[in-house]
Chain A
Amino acid sequence: MSTNDSEVVRHADGNGAVGEQLPDRFDNPGLPPHRPRLTDTDPAAARRATRQVVALFTISILGTIGFVVAYALVPDGNTIASIRLSNLLLGLGLFLAMFGIGAAAIHWAKTLMSDREVAEDRHPQRSSPQDREAAVAVLREGAADSGIARRGVLKGAVVSALVLAPLTIAVPLIGEVGGHWRVSTLRHTLWERGKRLTRDPSGTPIKAEDVTVGSVFHVIPDGLREGENADHWIEEKAKAVVLMVRLDHADLREAEDRKDWSYEGIVAYSKICTHVGCPVALYEQQTHHLLCPCHQSTFDIADGARVIFGPANRPLPQLPIAVDDEGYLVAQSDFTEPIGPSYWERLK
């Protein structure tokens, strides 16, 4: 919409048409004239500003004193209320101590220090041609002195040695940093044939008759923290947690090959989301939907934990269960597929 190039504009003034060459762009008018502040012109205002600055520094000093007094006199005690009071008083003291200094310094700068803008020259970043030539000459001289261009074998040797040397750090680091590195352990959990389902976290076994329709059980395998698991129970728990509910037979839809994986409407599914591994803990009794609170993947427990919404792709793995001689719920086997989020070699 604009005219671009410099142009001769003929315009009329009182004396008639005169040709005039105008520049392409306006000229920079330069710094505007300095406007004095009240404190520059009025000594009373300057004195007032000085007093204000002193007052602000005084507030800081009082804040520090208040902080120390609060530390000494208001113990943090044992209750939430006493801790909150101590926190509030210390925080306010610290606030005044710091803010007072800051406000004083800035007020000082704005009212009493010169507000005349000054200009400094900039220079192009690149060095001068002479300097560049000198730099190149120095490098050439050094390179020639080292003989690296003539003795190719030297170049190869220095590069090889430098490239290989970091292996001394990297090899043991990579060897040790991943623990045992056996990623196949991701496939297995503590569940096995006959392993009792127990309540999380008490570890008490669960009788099938105790599981009423609509109730939810957060389940861990029996003996989670005992024996050889004592040291790494938390990893085992992270894989083995199960969510168990009993559904009305009328609601339950089961795949043909999984008819015997449930017990009288009691179904058990891995609690670890197949998306990125959050515990899928929000069960809605009316709809039989299980919602992951992290990313809202929603699974239908009545229908093989099928994904009905959200970013998860696969149903939650089902734990085949049965009842032992004493009437306690037990696993029939481990999960038949790796639990939790997908990874490259999951199906291998």
Chain B
Amino acid sequence: MSRPSKGSGPAATADYLDQRTGIGLAVKAFARKVFPDHWSFLLGEIALYSFLVLLITGVFLTLFFVPSMAQVTYDGPFAPMQGVQMSEAFRSTMALSFEVTGGLLMRQIHHWAAVVFIAAIVTHMMRVFFTGAFRKPREVNWLVGFVLMILGIAAGFSGYSLPDDVLSGNGLRITDGVVKSIPIIGSYLSYFIFGGEFPGDAIIPRLFTVHILLVPGLILALIGLHIFFVVLHKHTHYGLPGRTERNVVGYPLFPVYVAKAGGFFFIVFGVFALMGATMTINPVWNYGPYDPSPVSAGAQPDWYMLFLEGALRLMPGQGTEWVIGGFTIPMNVLVPAVVLPGLLFTALAAYPFLEAYVTGDRREHHIADRPRNAPVRTAIGVAILTAFGVLVLAGSNDIIATHFGLSINAITDVCRLLLVVTPFLAFWVTKRVCLGLQRKDRELVLHGHETGRIVRFASGEYIEVHRPLDEYERWVRVANEPRRPVELLPVEDERGVRRRGYRRDAFRARLSRFFFEDRVEPVTPAELVATQSHGGHDAALELPAATAAADAHRR
């Protein structure tokens, strides 16, 4: 049995800990763990650090916020509000803004961090989507991340409503209207949420519990799982020289990432502090406490709710409320607020599995795609984002109308049209752009960089000298593996018997053709050699790319 070492200092502490936890093993395994470096990997970090800032500022706020809907009369320092009836929730929000020194700063940092938290989650998700980082073995982690996004929105929405101001109160009323539209259980679900009729006196305490316990608890647990999977799978890296499917290239956790990632937390916190110091957000003292009668024009929810708001605004109301057997089914609410987000979120969650089905690819992937090398996936992503963008725009149609002096009806009608047309247009354009970029890559690999150096031959022919790519430059453009549609076996087997499962295969082949029929494959060594050997004189002239230029003219 080993004796605790004498003395003090880090060695003694480490010894003490290791004897009781065996932490040495973990340190040995993780301290020098390698993480790849790329700016796009920071997006998830921003989300994580935003969450930490939310926890820190949130704890501060809970110490001063009173989650109660009991009515009080304002007698605080803010003169315009003197004598106004309000809930204790609103009163305490006023107090922590105006009477707690630093309270307003914490509130504004908290709100900005929340807005950025969800934005960072969504952009991180876009990075993962567009680079195919959701492929095997990371599908499960994609789902974890997807649930985190939903929880992030839930956290944002529940917190947004807590001050019990007139703006968020009307947001809750919209929620109530949407919930009531759900067939059969709608009104009961509304009672479930509000503890009776809207607004009741339960919703703020309930949202408080959801906001400070339930949702953050779940987020914390799932962040743990999310990061555990990142460590287990090891991070993806881009197809740069030296990176393969069998290795991970980057810098060690200690000290490089401790400094870089740890430092980045402080950067994020610092930026939020600057935002909280200089940019007003959610000035509830301008809105006033919730009252079911008033409403302000130009009301906007936080950005992550705008797409739902926009969808509600765009849906035409006439002829879309169905009455079947005496029961009302308000499709004008159900379609934009329940069906549409339902489809969108289901599609997002299911996408990795859908793509795996289409490609039939069961291998592990650790090299992240360049978006151009998966044109149809990229185009699908851009199409969805375009639809999302149109809905966000529609959610701000009143602001656009007042700022640009346009007719709100015209904007709404145009947005209706855009919602239907632009995703298809965006799909087509994006796919073409991707294919074009791939062709550009081929061109560059085959013919090299333009140098701007013009050479005249003895024969009088002018050519521009092209400088071939070095092998590192080239690798980035040829590292991707060509993807082709799955082959469809014939209807009948060799004995003339109709194959079982043919229709299923045919369906999959059709999907696969949709994904991979239009494609530009990376240059093969043979193609490069063939291009470079079109003329006999390059080697002698040391102008290997010269003929490539000529070749380009001939094509």
* B-binding residues in A (CB < 8 A): 1-4, 6-7, 9, 11-14, 20, 22-26, 28-32, 71, 75-78, 83, 86-88, 90-92, 94-106, 108-110, 113-115, 117-122, 124-125, 174, 177-181, 183, 185-186, 200-201, 218, 220, 232, 234-235, 237-239, 241, 271, 273, 275-279, 281-282, 293-297, 307, 309-314, 340-348
Assess whether A344 is in contact with B329, with CB atoms less than 8 Å apart. yes
A-B contact pairs, 17 of them (CB 8 A): A1-B520, A1-B521, A7-B526, A25-B478, A29-B472, A76-B100, A83-B97, A83-B98, A86-B101, A92-B274, A94-B277, A109-B263, A234-B291, A275-B332, A293-B295, A296-B397, A341-B333
Contact call B536/A102, Cβ cutoff below 8 A: no
Complex Cα distance, B442 from A82, in Å, reads 63
Task: Find chain A residues with CB under 8 A from B201 CB.
Answer: 232, 234
Which residues of B sit under 8 angstroms from A201, Cβ to Cβ? 291, 293
Q: Are B294 and A26 closer than 8 Å at their CB atoms?
A: no
Q: Is B22 an interface residue (CB 8 A)?
A: no
Q: Shortest Cβ distance from A90 into chain B, in angstroms? A: 5
A83 to B276, CA, bound (A): 13
In the complex, A124 Cα to B187 Cα: how many Å?
Answer: 51
Collect the chain B residues with CB atoms within 8 Å of residue A241's CB. Answer: 292-293
Q: Would you call B539 an interface residue if the criterion is a C-beta within 8 Å of the partner chain's C-beta atoms? A: yes
* B247 adjacent to A99 (CB under 8 Å): no
Among B241, B278, B412, point to the contact of A88 (Cβ < 8 A): B278
A118: contacting residue among B102, B170, B252, CB under 8 A = B252
Check A94–B273 contact: CB distance below 8 A.
yes
When the two chains form the complex, which single residue of B182, B251, B277, B312 contacts A295, counting CB atoms closer than 8 Å? B312
Chain B CB within 10 Å, residue with most, of A78, A109, A347: A109
Residues of B within 8 A of A122 (CB): 234, 245-248, 366
List 11 additional A-B contacts (Cβ < 8 Å) besides A179-B195, A277-B177, A344-B182. Answer: A24-B524, A83-B104, A94-B269, A105-B262, A114-B251, A124-B364, A177-B192, A276-B176, A294-B299, A341-B333, A343-B330
Number of A-B contacts defined by CB within 8 Å: 382
Contact of B278 among A23, A29, A91, A307 (CB under 8 A): A91
Asked if B199 and A238 make an inter-chain contact with CB atoms under 8 angstroms apart, the answer reads yes
Shortest 3 CB-CB contacts between residues of A and residues of B: A91-B277, A276-B177, A105-B263
Residue of B whose beta carbon sits closest to that of A6 = B526
A91 to chain B: which residues have CB within 8 Å? 105, 108-109, 273-274, 276-278
Q: Is the CB of A32 within 8 A of B267?
A: no
Distance to closest chain B CB from A274 (angstroms)? 9
Q: State A117–B278 Cα separation when bound (angstroms).
A: 40
Contacts of B98 in A (CB 8 A): 76, 78, 83
A-contact bits for B212-253, CB 8 A (1 contact / 0 none): 000000000000000000001110000001111111111110
Known contacts A119-B242, A238-B199: does B533 contact A11 (CB below 8 Å)? yes
Total number of B residues with any Cβ neighbor in A under 8 Å: 134
Whether the pair B328, A342 counts as a contact (CB closer than 8 A) is yes
Contact A344 B186 (CB under 8 A): yes
Bound-complex Cα distance A239 to B234 (A): 56
B530 touches A106 (CB 8 A): no
B270 and A99 contact, CB distance less than 8 A: yes
Contact between A277 and B176, CB atoms less than 8 A apart: yes
Is the CB–CB distance between A29 and B241 below 8 Å? yes
Instruction: Name A's interface SS.
Output: loop
Contact B195 A11 (CB under 8 A): no
A311 CB to nearest chain B CB (Å): 4
Q: Is the CB of A106 within 8 A of B526?
A: no
With A3-B526, A271-B293 in contact, is A178–B241 under 8 Å at CB?
no
Contact A118 B293 (CB under 8 A): no
**A71 surroundings in chain B (CB, below 8 A):** 101-102
**When the two chains form their complex, are residues A278 and B99 in contact, meaning their CB atoms are under 8 A apart?**
no
Cβ A102 vs Cβ B292 within 8 A: no
Contact A294 B295 (CB under 8 A): yes
Q: Which of A4, A108, A180, A342 contacts B482 (CB 8 A)?
A: A4
B 155-184 to A, binary, CB cutoff 8 A, 1 in contact else 0: 000000000000000100110111011111
In the complex, A1 Cα to B518 Cα: how many Å? Answer: 9
Chain B residues whose CB sits within 8 angstroms of the CB of A109 once the complex forms: 255-256, 259-260, 263
**CB–CB A186/B187 < 8 A:** yes
Which of chain B's residues have a CB closer than 8 A to the CB of A105?
259-260, 262-263, 266
> Chain B residues near A121 (CB, 8 Å)?
246-248
Question: B450 interface residue, CB < 8 Å from A?
Answer: no
Contacts of B526 in A (CB 8 A): 3, 6-7, 9, 22
A8 to chain B, nearest CB (A): 8
Interface-centre pick from A7, A186, A275 (highest chain B CB count, 10 A): A275
**CA A6 to CA B77, docked complex, whole Å:** 81
The interface-forming segment of B11-19, B317-325, B374-382 is B317-325
Contact at B241–A31, with CB atoms within 8 Å?
A: yes
The residues of B that contact A235 with a CB separation of less than 8 Å are 196-200
B424 adjacent to chain A (CB < 8 Å): no
**A71-B102, A99-B270, A178-B192 in contact; A275/B333 too (CB < 8 A)?**
yes
Cα–Cα, bound, A113→B481 (Å)? 35
Task: Please pick, from A87, A88, A273, A279, the residue contacting B294 in the complex, using a CB distance under 8 A.
Answer: A279
Once the chains bind, are B312 and A311 in contact (CB under 8 Å)?
A: yes
> Is the pair B241, A2 in contact by a Cβ cutoff of 8 Å?
no
Q: Are A31 and B249 in contact (CB under 8 A)?
A: yes
A343 pairs with B187, CB closer than 8 A: yes
Q: Which of A118, A218, A348 contacts B250 (CB 8 A)?
A: A118
Judged by a CB distance under 8 angstroms, whether B475 is at the interface is yes
Q: How far is the CA of A90 from the CA of B195 in the complex (A)?
A: 40
Cβ-neighbour of B264 out of A106, A218, A239, A313 (below 8 A): A106
CA distance A334 to B78 in the complex (A): 40
Contact B297 A87 (CB under 8 A): no
Q: How close is B519's CB to chain A, nearest CB, in angstroms?
A: 8
Check B432 for interface membership: any CB of A closer than 8 A.
no
Looking across the interface, which residue of chain B has its beta carbon closest to that of A1?
Answer: B520
Given contacts A118-B34, A235-B200, whether A341 and B292 have CB atoms under 8 Å apart is: no
**Residue B527 at the chain A interface, CB threshold 8 Å:** yes
Contacts of B266 in A (CB 8 A): 98-102, 105
Q: How far is the CA of A106 from the CA of B264 in the complex (A)?
A: 7
Does B63 reach chain A (CB closer than 8 Å)? no
Kindly state whether residue B309 has any CB partner on chain A within 8 Å.
yes
Using Cβ atoms and an 8 Å threshold, which residues of chain A touch B316?
Answer: 311
Is the Cβ of A278 less than 8 Å from the Cβ of B197?
Answer: no
Chain B: minimal CB distance from A289 (Å): 11
What CA separation (Å) do A14 and B244 show in the bound complex? 36
> What distance in Å separates the Cβ of A312 from its nearest Cβ neighbour in chain B?
5
Asked whether, in the complex, the Cβ of A29 is within 8 Å of the Cβ of B471, the reply is yes
Residue on A nearest B53 in the bound complex, by CB: A98
* Minimum distance in angstroms from A281 CB to a CB of chain B: 5
Q: Let me know if B296 is at the binding interface, CB within 8 A.
A: yes
Tell me if B247 and A341 are in contact (CB < 8 A): no
Residue of B nearest to A186 (CB): B187
Contact A311 B263 (CB under 8 A): no
Confirm or deny: B326 has a beta carbon within 8 angstroms of a beta carbon on chain A.
Answer: yes
In the bound assembly, the distance between CA atoms of A13 and B534 in angstroms comes to 10
- Cross-chain contact A101 with B263 (CB below 8 angstroms): yes
A273–B72 alpha-carbon span in the complex (Å): 29
Residues of chain B lying within 8 A (CB to CB) of residue A279: 170, 292-295
Residues of the A chain whose Cβ atoms lie less than 8 Å from the Cβ of B326: 347-348
Is B304 on the interface with A (CB-CB < 8 A)? no
Q: Does B315 contact A (CB under 8 A)?
A: yes
A residues in contact with B541, CB < 8 Å: none
Cα of A77 to Cα of B475 in the assembled complex, Å: 63
Find out whether the CB atom of B242 lies under 8 angstroms from the CB atom of A31: yes
